[in-house]
Structure 1
């Protein structure tokens, strides 16, 4: 006997002794739970096997709506298709949000960049997305809000020609190098989106940087000891804040990354044993391994460096001014609880470099150049310093050594740091004399 709305309402949300099923017609039926929840079911045979498909619950799907689905399901069976797979794809398509390029990039910033990357990298990603995808730059306005005008469409409808036009626009607004930067970021975003089935359009992943722009230039500038000494003296003459001056000096002495020195905290410095321990960066897993017994836990060795005498002297100098809590190189004013910004340090280095060019025609130097100076200078003195300088620069060793050689070489690092400072100090004394 066919079901009716009055019969369905009689069973709905009523308690029953046990679940039961009632047939309607055309292989349609309902299953009623003990608590009175009603689910629509469709019985069918596919490849000679009996099966059933859940269509949804009553009253969200009414009697007439459930019956209206039957002809479509029968058609699937006649065509040799499994109604379950057809219905599943249909539901997935309906529930799937229509994703735009803007949506995908903003979601990636929230779910990937904010979790896996350091704050400075997050800021770079956010700035790139804001300018080139949202078309809302913080500073200089764009000539044309191209993405809003031409890519305001579902992401899966973006064609390869659309991408080519997009990168031509980036080049016209900025440069081929910037097009390469935006391309690398979008490649990461789209790879993530495809992996999580947020989008299916992956045609941009077939491109290479050279198809849309240029890869960033690899730095070649390697300051000589004379140029580093001239920079040191220019820093001494500057009226900049002490934390800015000392931060740049430590980058020269240690050959460390800009971000690593800026994020140095007093808690990372063991001034008794004279060791600087660099925490595992955000986005890199602190690998641990547990043994069979409770408490048997081992973790990866952090990056460690000795603190040479000149660095200790500079740290004591800044401690007298700002104390020994939080960041060693604090930001200015309202940012005193944060580290000095990369913009402030780079701007200071650029200013010092500009003065050197005006006075002595010494070409531009950026903080990262001193990393090349450290390794080049020491290896020119003796090739034995090659492995040691790799450790000093925080690089992984090559080949099987990266798996088996976990030595910090603290004594050798200290000897190398002291050697570099002795050479630099000699250049400074020559210039002063």
Structure 2
């Protein structure tokens, strides 16, 4: 569908809910944000791979100028030159904006070199919160004071996130500078230690009584069945959120009574084997009966629930109980601590957490202590349910 000046004028600066991208011809297209910010981009194939590069914002660049830029970039492509190495867009455009830099970083580094989970992390933080800052201004021309004021405002919202955004922005701009996409950026002059605070290392562990209160709060909530099952299974297994949230039916072998987490979904890039123990069986069967292949789906019932949706639910549970702040990740530390108190061997607990054992054990010992894990899981679950019964009367 061709782009026209009339269409761009009608979309610019207005709330927008249509397709995120609209194509023109010869690889030219526009990317439109929900706030009506319009970015021209050029799509092309280089060495068998699809690439996209930002070439400027509308209306700083007109549609005619964008088409001329694409024509010049196509000439470079025809000559065997990667358009990203061409300076045409810098001659015709003022200079890359923050939005352009983030798009370039995402396209040439994040989406190429990082794992899907890390890509999603960057998309939900720096890309989401920083793409539309300083619209129309070249990244190279933004003074340090403006960056400081921006991050000072972020500190008022969330101290931890403010530092995280600065660190990620510095990474993005540093990549653009190393790749000669921009010459410099004054955000590099701001030290992360001067903005916000570092996330504190988790120390929260819950007692069996507190775990029982959380269990009952989950049961009595009005959340979806998927959300309830996710957090109850996280509590019993002490697994990482994504390990259960993205699980599928085929990972649970009910004949061998083993949950086999494939290497491509584990943090260690190795297969993780855990037992399917007695108390968790009803939860797994309920998920399979209710949803089928994807055990913990989102609203569309076809894709796994998002981490944001899961975190919002646990945030509501945490704030409603009055037992202090905690997250689903604290269930892992709690399981390890409580089972250590019960005398469970450290190597068994490490396997339950999905950790690799150190030293030569990693190389030579492939034993997973499945039966020992099963006994520990059943002991832990029984302790929780004992307190659930005590509270429920």
TM-score range, shorter chain: 0.5 to 0.7
Q: Describe the shift of the 1:365–1:93 C-alpha distance in structure 2 as closer, same or farther (beyond 3 A).
A: closer
Note the alpha carbon deviations across 1:353-395, whole angstroms, 9 max, x for none.
34423xxxx223321111111011011222x532322222223
Q: Describe the shift of the 1:196–1:340 C-alpha distance in structure 2 as closer, same or farther (beyond 3 A).
A: same
Within 5 Å, give how 1:81-230 maps onto structure 2: 94=87, 97=90, 98-116=95-113, 121-135=118-132, 147-148=134-135, 152-155=137-140, 163-172=147-156, 174-201=157-184, 208-230=191-213
Normalising by structure 1, report the TM-score: 0.61
Q: Distance in 2 between matches of 1:396 and 1:202?
A: 41
Q: Contact conserved, 1:243 with 1:330, CA < 8 A, in 2?
A: yes
Q: Contact conserved, 1:225 with 1:423, CA < 8 A, in 2?
A: yes
Q: Distance in 1 between matches of 2:286 and 2:186?
A: 56
Instruction: Give the structure 1 partner of residue 284 of structure 2.
Output: 315
Instruction: Give the structure 1 partner of residue 370 of structure 2.
Output: 410
Q: Contact conserved, 1:117 with 1:283, CA < 8 A, in 2?
A: no
- Which sections of structure 2, spanning at least 5 residues, go unmatched? 1-84
Q: Contact conserved, 1:275 with 1:305, CA < 8 A, in 2?
A: yes
Correspondence for 2:223 among 240, 246, 249: 240
Q: Radius of gyration: which is bigger?
A: 1
Note the alpha carbon deviations across 1:141-180, whole angstroms, 9 max, x for none.
xxxx5x237xx1243x5565554444334324x2332221
Q: Distance in 2 between matches of 1:404 and 1:206?
A: 48
Q: Distance in 1 between matches of 2:266 and 2:253?
A: 25
Quote how far apart the aligned CAs of 1:217 are.
2.7
Instruction: Give the structure 2 partner of residue 231 of structure 1.
Output: 214
Note the alpha carbon deviations across 1:203-248, whole angstroms, 9 max, x for none.
7567542122211232222111111111112223334332221111
- Which sections of structure 1, spanning at least 5 residues, go unmatched? 1-91, 136-144, 287-300
Give the count of matched residue pairs: 306
Quote how far apart the aligned CAs of 1:283 are.
11
Q: Describe the shift of the 1:405–1:183 C-alpha distance in structure 2 as closer, same or farther (beyond 3 A).
A: farther
Instruction: Give the structure 2 partner of residue 348 of structure 1.
Output: 313
Which deviates further from its counterpart, 188-197 or 231-240?
188-197
3-state SS of paired residue (1:328): coil
Q: Distance in 2 between matches of 1:373 and 1:181?
A: 26
CA-atom RMSD in angstroms: 3.2
Q: Describe the shift of the 1:192–1:400 C-alpha distance in structure 2 as closer, same or farther (beyond 3 A).
A: farther
Correspondence for 2:355 among 354, 372, 395: 395
